[in-house]
Amino acid sequence: MRSVLALALDCVVGALEKTPGPAGVALHRAPGPGRAQLADTGYEIVSTMPSGVRLEMLTDATEIEVDARLTQVVMAGSEPSDAVFDLVVDGELRAPVTTSDQTLVHVDPATMALDDEPAPPATVRFTPGVGSRERRVEIWLSNALATQLVDVRIPEGASVRPAPASGPVWVHHGSSISQCSEADRPTGTWPAIVARRAGRSLVNLGLGGECHLDLFMARAIRDLPADAISLELGINIVAGDTMRERTFVPAFHGFLDTVRDGHPDTPILVISPIVCPAAETRPGPTLPGADGRVRTLDRPAELTVGSLTLTRVRELLAEHVERRRKAGDHRLHLIDGTTLFGPEDTADLPDGLHPNPAGYARMAERFLPRSFGEAGLLR
């Protein structure tokens, strides 16, 4: 086997940056300038969780080995899960490939103290097929573990080169509801399901715990090639109690103004929050309860004036998308998130906040016709 790491990095799709370091090459889904400004360890980790990031290559290799340094964040009391990779050969999804070789970062939810349990890089092996014919091969990296590529190897004499794009580029930004760490495989996130069925090349900028209308993310989207853009907004602004109504409205307009600077005619679809029973009519922050479900905190009535609930966020997004449409932005659209995952779906909301794999699959089924169907808003 020979190393083809440099060639493989040319085949990476879905990452904003490929950053080499002593532990390997990090595939970031958030821009470097914004990460530097925040200087936040948690954000840095989430940025390297490659939900939607994959290698898209044309290769005659009958075997591909990937060495990756994998890190899983585990809340105290939870059990770690295996890292899962997906292999797609000439459009056919194969059985997932798993490994338990990963560094564990244990988090104390009371103090947020971190305790590392290090592990060496994992070696994951893929078998595209027998015979030396060239195939289109996609290797989808884990949607839930921070990942650094250490090496990629193919047999001596085999070749590899970047594959053509799988379709028009769809850039999606959102929260953990879009990163989908709870999905059981990388192609099982709802954006990945939609992209594969619609023939779109996905750039998934869904970041767990994030999506606070950060302008550096708006600038990143502005500067990306995009045939369609969607924005799943609001849940973490409520869950983190990071904004009040007075700041949320201009931040939303500023974010869209920046994106429109680079994409004046691209269809943009705003998705308001899916259901979260604890925060529907109560402002955040949300915190995990003893039963594993999220809860909100009581606060004095005087402090609720101008605070945001999910119900209010949906109202504001609907109102201000309509304002922009009346002002001439007819390629801006809105989907109420509860039509993708609503009160009738809470049996598939185990922690009261994040859907399970079945819930994400249902979101994809509902989103696909409304976005990329014959009368879809993003076509």
What pLDDT digit, counting tens, does each position of 161-207 carry? 999 999 999 999 999 999 999 999 999 999 999 999 999 999 999 99
> For 24-77, what is each residue's pLDDT tens digit?
999 999 999 999 999 998 899 999 999 999 999 999 999 999 999 999 988 766
Averaged pLDDT, 361-366: 98
Quote the DSSP letter at residue 266: S
Q: Is residue 377 part of a domain?
A: no
Closest listed residue to residue 371, CA positions, set 271, 257, 225: 271
Q: Place 338 in a pLDDT band, splitting at 50, 70 and 90.
A: very high
> For 250-263, what is each residue's pLDDT tens digit?
999 999 999 999 99
Residues 54/187, Cβ–Cβ less than 8 Å? no
The amino acid at 75: M
pLDDT of res. 114: 75
Supply the range of the domain harboring residue 143.
2-162
Domain end, chosen from 136, 162, 188, is at: 162
Q: Is residue 379 part of a domain?
A: no
Provide, rounded to the nearest whole percent, the portion of the chain with pLDDT above 90. 87
Residue 355, phi then psi, degrees to nearest 5? -65, 160
> For 114-168, what is each residue's pLDDT tens digit?
778 888 999 999 999 988 899 999 999 999 999 999 999 999 999 999 999 999 9
Arithmetic mean of pLDDT over the chain: 95
| pLDDT of 288 over the 90 cut | no
Domains contained in the chain, number: 2
Domain end, chosen from 115, 137, 162, is at: 162
Name the one residue in this structure whose structure tokens are 């879809």: 376
Count of C-beta atoms within a 10 Å radius of residue 335:
19
Task: State pTM to two decimals.
Answer: 0.95
Residue 8, phi then psi, degrees to nearest 5? -65, -35
Q: Is residue 111 part of a domain?
A: yes
Report DSSP letters for 133-192, one per residue. --EEEEEEPPSSSEEEEEEEEE-TT--EEEPPPSSSEEEEEESHHHH-TTSSSGGGSHHH
Residues 213 and 347 in one domain: yes
pLDDT of res. 109: 67
Give the burial string for 108-134 (b: 16+ CB within 10 Å, else e): eeeeeeeeeeeeebbebebebbeeeee
| pLDDT of 292 over the 80 cut | yes
> For 70-116, what is each residue's pLDDT tens digit?
999 887 667 788 999 999 999 999 999 999 999 888 877 666 677 78
Domain end, chosen from 162, 188, 203, is at: 162
Q: Which residues pair with 54 in a beta bridge?
A: 13, 140
